[in-house]
Amino acid sequence: MEIQLQELIEQIKKDGVDAAEIQAAAILESAKAEAEKIIAEAKSQADKIMAEAKNENAKVVKSGEDALRQAGRNLLISFRESVTRELRAIVSDNVNAVYSSDAFAKLVINAVECWAGKPEADDISVILNGSDLAKLEEALLAELKEKMLGGVTLKANDNFDGGFRVAVNNGAVYYDYSAEAVTDMLSNYLSPKVTALLKEAE
């Protein structure tokens, strides 16, 4: 009887241990699966964060590059505008220097001679500002007379600072040699050439 009881106890122990081992194995397997799931989710989350970070970094880099390019363009435009302004100032200074020199009267005479030779030019008038006319009238009239261009009329107009205008056909058409017009014309002629030189230097 005692042997049977001992065997029964041994059997119960064995059954308990086996059941505990099975349960422990199941718990371990479940824990392992849960750990793998957590690791996979963490990896997925990390990959997502990395991808978002890379994407955001790419956006920041592109934005920075775009900003640099735009700043470069703005700087170049500003520089070209500055050069154009400086060029215009230089041209203006030179035109005004010529128009205030002794060569000015000769320029007027040469322009009148050119227009007097054209068959369509009739009734030529030279228009100067009041101060230039007062200074040059006597010399211009004498020179025009000497060159057989006595029919040319000299007129005053203070709507422009320096230079002159030649009007033909009773004022129906006039050609502008004012300081401003000549400065514009020369600046417009020179600006593309200066721009081309600047582009070559890029």
Q: Does residue 33 sit within a domain?
A: no
Q: Give residue 15's pLDDT.
A: 64
Nearest-CA neighbor of 125 among 172, 185, 183?
A: 172
Q: What is the mean pLDDT of residues 52-74?
A: 85
- Of 83 and 128, the structure prediction assigns the larger pLDDT to 128
Task: Examine the pLDDT at 134 and tell me if it is beyond 80.
Answer: yes
Q: Give residue 16's pLDDT.
A: 66
183: domain CATH number is: 3.30.2320.30
Per-residue three-class SS string for the chain: CHHHHHHHHHHHHHHHHHHHHHHHHHHHHHHHHHHHHHHHHHHHHHHHHHHHHHHHHHHHHHHHHHHHHHHHHHHHHHHHHHHHHHHHHHHHHHHHHHHCCCHHHHHHHHHHHHHHCCCCCCCCEEEECHHHHHHHHHHHHHHHHHCCCCCCEEEECCCCCCEEEEEECCCCEEEEEEHHHHHHHHHHHHHHHHHHHHHHHC
Structure tokens at 201: 């230097």
Asked whether the whole model's pTM tops 0.85, one would answer no
Q: How many domains does the chain have?
A: 1
Task: Examine the pLDDT at 11 and tell me if it is beyond 80.
Answer: no
Q: Does residue 190 sit within a domain?
A: yes
Q: Give residue 96's pLDDT.
A: 87
Q: What is the pLDDT of residues 21-46, one digit of tens each?
A: 777 777 778 878 887 888 888 788 87
Domain range enclosing 161: 102-201
Q: Does residue 152 sit within a domain?
A: yes
- Of 179 and 53, the structure prediction assigns the larger pLDDT to 179
Q: How does residue 150 score in pLDDT terms, banded at 50, 70 and 90?
A: low
Q: Does residue 168 sit within a domain?
A: yes
Q: Does residue 134 sit within a domain?
A: yes
Give the burial class of 61: count Cβ atoms within 10 A of its Cβ; 0-12 exposed, 13-18 middle, 19 or more buried: exposed
Q: Give residue 13's pLDDT.
A: 66
Q: What is the pLDDT of residues 93-115, one digit of tens each?
A: 988 888 888 888 888 888 888 87
Q: Does residue 59 sit within a domain?
A: no
For the chain, what is the total number of helices (H) and then of strands (E)?
4, 4
- Of 147 and 57, the structure prediction assigns the larger pLDDT to 57
Q: Does residue 155 sit within a domain?
A: yes
Q: Does residue 140 sit within a domain?
A: yes
CA distance 82 to 88: 10
